[in-house]
């Protein structure tokens, strides 16, 4: 009843007053950022090392892997690689060489396309990012209203229907969704194109180009986003239901606020936070899922590149893609953590 | 302590109609697998008829034939076994690996915990499907490599789960009591902590079976499936060629996958509800 | 406290709260009281007595599956129990306002207190941005929150418990209500802060002529701030009257027990007679909400029970001037 600790001001140095402007850049925030940055870099380093371990464990030596089974590699080049990677040297030195190459962004060379692997990947990064962003956007666009309705009328008709829809979205493999969409919208209805990023050699610019790309983007984005739509809906629904039991929702109602505002602003504002983190976590699944989706829709992204690499047995390229993907995921998670830190005023330390 | 009587548990489980329905689906698939050699003996990959027969045209082939003239029904029944086998072995493997690591990490804390969790983080840092692809590509596709790859990707989440439960239970009274009368650590882990971790572990494992099936299907679809095996995934890969005039070849395995995964998920949800009886689903 | 109906600003008549349907469960079993402008009625009882539910019912904020099963609530000439949603929203905050017990959880953690206050004002009044800001500052001044200008952008978790409660009170006053319901407003606070908050509430009451329903389990607090007292037990009011009467001459054995179990109390209006009260424990426990025993709910724990106590719920007996108690043995003892 008479709790003594209660009157002590919750926070320290600033006398319980808000931190304004420039102060934000000082201690807690910056420390958090730096700490997270170090964590991310460490993780990337460890993952690169693990990739090395995997390559070492695989049958054949490093160069067999690097040069690929395509047989397009020049024997002189293979010799060069062997010495460059010091395959006659002890393990640790090989490891050091490997790290050195990675740090210099030298991930090899692709004879097939006559480009360095790094260039190849960079070229595909843009379209992948576009597809992933569109997929996430669509997923959220569908998830938020559906979760709101489900939570508001929990266990009601809407909720059950939503539950079934999300279950089907979750359970259907992306290639099935993709193929079905192509059949329906491209073949039967002829509304949308069945592949590619834009109409080739059309020379469209400005708005028409934008529309053209959008038309090509929509089916793959829906396909890729379907699974995540299910995940976000379920998560947000659970989060909303939790938040609805909180006292401040009752206060909002007692103030005379409409249900819409109570729900849409107060409840949703709080329930969104776990969703933000989840979006970050799902980046990996987006990248993985894009392999299949991009291959079905011939979308020129990283996923498609991976698919081509598999088909060509170009293991070197595959490894490079895996490394870049890891880096991307780490970067996105890092940004999401910063964003979360920014969004939730309760977090003062990391 | 978790004490569950079998009949009490079933009663709790069966309250969720959907969960029972899911169980029915799973049972159906398992029965189909087991009866495959009875209903359709022989090699499912044998060419037995004209290609592109639509279902219903030829009474010998209720589901039609694929583009090479193989019996779809036979392929479906035999393929079910492979898909299920992968799913189950992966789930068990990941549970074993993840469970063990989680138990050790959660119980001993300190450096062991830090290192093991770092390891888990690394495996989770690489996008799952990509890691599976790279492992299978490096070590050549086979049942073992595919299974190992999916386990490699799945164990971290199980490990975290078990670790959290272990940490929670470690500080409970009954564990402390056991320690005081000299019970050895492994015994404590096995007899006291593990049984209490089982409910969430079982639920997660069942759901993992479903994702195992999905991943295997995905791998087969992009050409990294086990070349010797026939699964629903490989059927989808083959069916892709005939999409425009023979889409039924993809529809059957596709729908089968969806239905099975839904069934498994429903069972998982049912198990979850049965283990944690909460408020009645009546708008409470 | 049950003076002419035309005087009261809020009147609750035979309110029963519980879960309806096939297996009905009553937690509040017929409660009536009225609030006068400028006066404070204290609703006292242990946890489980139903007093908080009664408060929530006044604003129709009962969480499902609970609902008002019977009875009416009249605010002025409006029947709150039959009010439609839109009118109800207008009533909340502007006619009747409520302050809750846990100030931290009662505030939205991700919204600045300025915004939450502005919201409370905006619901009932259309103001320009500047006027809104001024009104918010005005409210914060009313509750004497230090450094109001800078606190506007602050977040709830950075304020102390007492400060948060002041913010909640400011929010409650934003709509210029006539009735203020304070549900255990100081229970979660330090002893010294409790007094400050209650003193402030008393001042605000005087300034705005508010009718205050003060809900508490703490008789000590009630003694200093209440004009009238109603004691609840197991969902019914078992004694009611002016604070002076109920606290100095408790008629119901439960009230006596409550007072006896506390260090000696004396309402501010009474002179110190020097009498000391024995510290007495009430044996037994409060019945489960909704499962009150038949007859007098207190009978199992009452030292003065007789046969007829369990036969029927005791009617309200008038003891003195506006002082009632639900006990059949009330007239007997001195």
For the segment C192-212, the average pLDDT, to the nearest whole number, is 90
Contact assignment for C106 to A11 by CB distance below 8 Å: no
Tokens 């009546």 map to which residue? Answer: B282
Give the DSSP letter string of A109-126. EETTTTEEHHHHHHHHHH
Q: What is the pLDDT of residues B248-260, one digit of tens each?
A: 888 888 899 999 9
Q: What is the pLDDT of residues C120-156, one digit of tens each?
A: 999 888 889 999 999 999 999 999 888 888 888 888 8
- Closest residue to A269, CB basis, from C97, C110, C168: C110
pLDDT, residue B110, reads 85
SS3 C232: strand
Cα–Cα dist C279/A135, whole Å: 70
- Cβ distance A246 to C105 less than 8 Å, yes or no, reads yes
Res. A69: pLDDT tops 70 = no
Query: Cβ–Cβ contacts within 10 Å for residue B154, how many?
Result: 26
DSSP B181-229: TT--HHHIIIIIIHHHHHHHHHHHHHHHHHHHHHHHHHHHHTT-S-TT-
Interface of A with C in 11-40 (CB under 8 A): 11, 16-18, 20
Angstroms from A282 CA to nearest CA on chain C: 24
Q: B223-254: string of b/e by CB count within 10 Å (b at 16+)?
A: ebbbeebbbbbbbbbbbeebeeebbbbbbbbb
Closest CA to A294 of B137, B244, B240, B222: B222
**From the list A10, A251, A344, which residue is nearest C160 (CB)?**
A10
The Cα A180–Cα A285 span in angstroms is 21
Q: How far is C39 from chain B (nearest CA, A)?
A: 38
User: Is residue A302 within 8 angstroms of chain B, CB to CB?
Assistant: no
Q: Measuring CA to CA, which residue among C193, C144, C206, C134 is closest to residue C170? A: C144
Q: In whole angstroms, how far apart are CA C187 and each of A1, A155, B24, C212, C217?
A: 6, 36, 54, 17, 9
- As a whole number of angstroms, the distance between CA A34 and CA A334 comes to 10
Provide the percentage of residues in chain C whose pLDDT is more than 90. Answer: 30
Q: Pick from C177, C42, C172: which is nearest to C116 by CA?
A: C172
Q: How far is residue C204's CA from residue C202's CA, in Å, rounded to a whole number?
A: 5
Q: What is the mean pLDDT of chain A?
A: 79
Q: Is the pLDDT of residue C87 over 80?
A: yes
Query: Superfamily assignment of A124-343 in CATH?
Result: MetI-like (1.10.3720.10)
Nearest residue to C113 (alpha-carbon basis) of C147, C169, C164: C164
d(CA B269, CA B206): 9
For the cut 90, the answer to whether the pLDDT of residue A165 exceeds it is yes
Mutate: best of B120, B126, B157, partner A, most A CBs <10 A: B126
* Arithmetic mean of pLDDT, A82-108: 71
Q: With beta carbons less than 8 A apart as the criterion, state whether C225 and C196 touch.
A: no
pLDDT for the residue B89: 93
Q: E-strand spans in chain B?
A: none
Q: Does B265 touch chain A (CB under 8 A)?
A: yes
Give yes or no for C216 touching A (CB within 8 A).
no
Q: How many CB pairs below 8 Å do chains B and C form together?
A: 3
- pLDDT single digits (tens) B67-95: 788 888 888 888 888 888 999 999 999 99
Which fold is adopted by the domain B2-279? MetI-like fold (1.10.3720)
Mutate to test the interface with B, among A61, A177, A310, A314 (most CBs of B within 10 A): A310
A253 touches chain C (CB under 8 A): yes
Tens of pLDDT, residues B148-201? 999 999 999 899 988 988 888 888 777 778 878 777 778 777 887 888 888 888
Query: Hey, where are the domains in chain A?
Result: 41-106, 124-343
Percent of chain C residues past pLDDT 70, beyond the cut: 90
Residues of B in contact with A43 (CB under 8 A): 121-122, 125
pLDDT grade for C185, boundaries at 50, 70 and 90? confident
Q: Would the pTM of this model clear 0.90, i.e. be above it?
A: no
Instruction: Find the DSSP H helices in A185-267.
Output: 206-244, 247-254, 259-261
Q: Report residue A1's pLDDT band, with 50, 70 and 90 as the boundaries.
A: very low
Question: C155–A6: do the CB atoms touch at under 8 Å?
Answer: no
Does B121 sit within 8 Å of A306, measured CB to CB?
Answer: no
A295-304, A310-319, B2-11, C241-250: least confident range: B2-11
**Looking at beta carbons, which residues of chain C come within 8 Å of B284?**
65
Answer for the pair B192, B131: CB distance below 8 angstroms, yes or no. Answer: no
Q: What are the tokens at B161?
A: 């789960």
**Which pLDDT belongs to residue A113?**
66
DSSP lists the bridge partners of residue C96 as C92, C179
Counting every residue written for chain C, the total comes to 334
Task: Decide if pLDDT at C270 tops 80.
Answer: no
Residue of B nearest to A302 (CA): B130
pLDDT band at C333 (very low <50, low <70, confident <90, very high): low
Q: Which residues of C touch A9 (CB under 8 A)?
A: 158-160
**Among all chains, which residue has been given the structure tokens 């400005």?**
A206
Using a CB–CB cutoff of 8 Å, tell me whether A246 touches chain C.
yes
Contacts of C among chains (3+ CB pairs under 8 A)? A, B
Residue ranges covered by each domain of chain B: 2-279
Average pLDDT over residues C98-109: 88
CA distances from B211 to A102, A283, B81, B203 (A): 33, 17, 16, 13
A285 to chain B: nearest residue by CA?
Answer: B127
Q: Which residue of C has its CA nearest to A245?
A: C63
3-state secondary structure of A336: helix
Q: Does B278 touch chain A (CB under 8 A)?
A: no
Per-residue pLDDT at C233 exceeds 80: yes
| Bond into C65 cis (ω within 30) | yes
pLDDT of residue A10: 33
User: Could you tell me the end-to-end alpha-carbon distance of chain A, in angstroms, rounded to an integer?
Assistant: 32
Q: How many CA atoms lie within 13 A of C198 on its CB side?
A: 26
């Amino acid at each position: 009843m008479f709790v003594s600790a209660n009157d002590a001001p919750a926070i320290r140095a600033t006398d319980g007053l808000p931190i304004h402007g420039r102060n934000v850049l000082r201690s807690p925030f910056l420390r958090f950022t730096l700490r997270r940055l170090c964590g991310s870099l460490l993780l990337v380093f460890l993952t690169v090392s693990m990739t090395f371990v995997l390559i070492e464990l695989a049958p054949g030596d490093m160069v067999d892997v690097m040069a690929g089974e395509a047989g397009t590699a020049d024997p002189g080049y293979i010799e060069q690689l062997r010495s460059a990677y010091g395959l006659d040297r002890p393990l640790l030195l090989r490891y050091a060489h490997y790290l050195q190459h990675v740090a210099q962004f030298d991930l090899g060379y692709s004879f097939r396309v006559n480009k360095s692997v790094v260039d190849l990947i960079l070229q595909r990064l843009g379209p992948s990012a576009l597809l992933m962003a569109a997929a996430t956007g669509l997923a959220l666009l569908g998830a938020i209203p559906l979760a709101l309705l489900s939570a508001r009328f929990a266990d009601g008709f809407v909720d059950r229907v939503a539950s079934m829809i999300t279950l089907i979205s979750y359970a259907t493999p992306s290639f099935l969704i993709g193929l079905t969409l192509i059949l329906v919208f491209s073949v039967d209805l002829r509304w949308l194109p069945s592949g590619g990023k834009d109409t080739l050699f059309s020379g469209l610019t400005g708005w028409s180009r934008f529309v053209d790309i959008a038309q090509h983007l929509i089916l793959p984005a829906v396909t890729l986003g379907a699974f995540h739509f299910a995940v976000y809906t379920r998560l947000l629904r659970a989060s909303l239901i939790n938040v609805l039991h909180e006292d401040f929702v009752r206060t909002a109602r007692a103030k005379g606020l409409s249900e819409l505002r109570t729900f849409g602003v107060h409840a949703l504002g709080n329930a969104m936070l776990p969703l933000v983190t989840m979006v970050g976590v799902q980046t990996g699944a987006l990248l993985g899922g894009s392999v299949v989706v991009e291959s079905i829709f011939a979308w020129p992204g990283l996923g498609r590149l991976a698919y081509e690499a598999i088909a060509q047995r170009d293991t070197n390229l595959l490894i490079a893609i895996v490394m870049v993907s890891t880096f991307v995921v780490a970067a996105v998670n890092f940004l999401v953590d910063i964003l979360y830190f920014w969004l939730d005023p309760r977090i003062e330390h990391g | 302590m978790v004490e569950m009587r079998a009949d009490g548990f079933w009663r709790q489980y069966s309250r969720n109609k959907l969960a029972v329905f899911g169980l029915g689906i799973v049972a159906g698939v398992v029965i189909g697998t087991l009866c495959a050699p009875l209903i359709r003996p022989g090699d499912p990959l044998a060419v037995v008829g004209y290609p592109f027969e639509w279902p219903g045209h030829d009474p010998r082939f209720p589901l039609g034939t694929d583009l090479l003239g193989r019996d779809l029904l036979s392929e479906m029944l035999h393929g079910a076994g492979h898909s299920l086998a992968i799913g189950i072995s992966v789930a068990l493997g990941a549970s074993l690996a993840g469970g063990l690591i989680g138990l050790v990490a959660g119980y001993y804390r300190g450096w062991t915990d830090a290192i093991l969790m770092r390891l888990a983080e690394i495996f989770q840092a690489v996008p799952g499907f990509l890691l599976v692809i790279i492992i299978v590509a490096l070590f050549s596709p086979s049942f073992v490599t595919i299974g190992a790859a999916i386990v490699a990707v799945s164990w971290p989440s199980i490990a975290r789960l078990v670790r959290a439960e272990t940490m929670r239970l470690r500080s409970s009274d009954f564990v402390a009591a056991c320690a005081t009368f000299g019970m050895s650590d492994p015994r404590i882990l096995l007899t006291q902590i593990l049984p209490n971790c089982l409910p969430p572990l079982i639920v997660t494992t069942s759901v993992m079976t479903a994702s195992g099936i999905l991943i295997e299907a995905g791998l087969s679809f992009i050409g990294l499936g086990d070349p010797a095996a026939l699964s629903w995934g490989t059927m989808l890969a083959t069916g892709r060629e005939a999409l425009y005039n023979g889409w039924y070849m993809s529809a059957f395995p596709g729908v089968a996958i969806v239905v099975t995964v839904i069934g498994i998920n429903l069972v998982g949800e049912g198990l979850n509800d049965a283990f944690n009886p909460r408020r009645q689903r009546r708008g409470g | 406290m049950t003076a002419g109906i035309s005087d009261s600003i809020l009147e609750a008549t035979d309110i029963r709260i519980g879960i309806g349907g096939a297996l009905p469960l009553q937690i509040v079993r017929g409660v009536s009281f009225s609030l006068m402008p400028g006066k404070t009625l204290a609703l006292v009882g242990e946890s489980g007595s139903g007093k908080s539910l009664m408060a929530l019912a006044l604003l129709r904020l009962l969480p499902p599956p609970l609902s008002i099963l019977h009875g009416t609530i009249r605010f002025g000439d409006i029947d709150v129990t039959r009010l439609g949603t839109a009118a109800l929203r207008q009533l909340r905050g502007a006619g009747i306002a409520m302050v809750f017990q846990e100030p931290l959880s009662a505030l939205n953690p991700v919204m600045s207190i300025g915004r939450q206050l502005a919201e409370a004002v905006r619901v009932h009044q259309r103001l320009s941005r500047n006027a809104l800001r001024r009104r918010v500052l005005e409210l914060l001044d009313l509750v004497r929150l230090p450094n109001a200008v800078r606190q506007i952008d602050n977040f709830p978790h950075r304020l102390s418990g007492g400060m948060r409660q002041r913010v909640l009170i400011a929010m409650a006053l934003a709509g210029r209500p006539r009735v203020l319901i304070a549900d255990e407003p100081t229970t979660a606070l330090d002893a010294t802060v409790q007094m400050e908050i209650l003193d402030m509430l008393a001042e605000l009451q005087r300034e705005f002529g508010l009718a205050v329903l003060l809900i508490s389990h703490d008789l000590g607090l009630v003694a200093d701030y209440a004009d009238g007292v109603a004691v609840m037990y197991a969902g019914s009011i078992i004694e009611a009257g002016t604070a002076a009467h109920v606290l100095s001459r408790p008629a119901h054995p439960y009230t006596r027990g409550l007072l006896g179990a506390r260090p000696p109390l004396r309402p501010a209006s009474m002179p110190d007679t020097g009498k000391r009260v024995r510290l007495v424990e009430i044996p037994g426990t409060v019945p489960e909400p909704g499962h009150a025993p038949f007859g007098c709910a207190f009978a199992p724990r009452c030292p003065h029970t007789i046969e007829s106590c369990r036969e029927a719920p005791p009617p309200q007996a008038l003891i003195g001037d506006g002082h009632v108690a639900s006990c059949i043995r009330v007239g007997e003892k001195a």
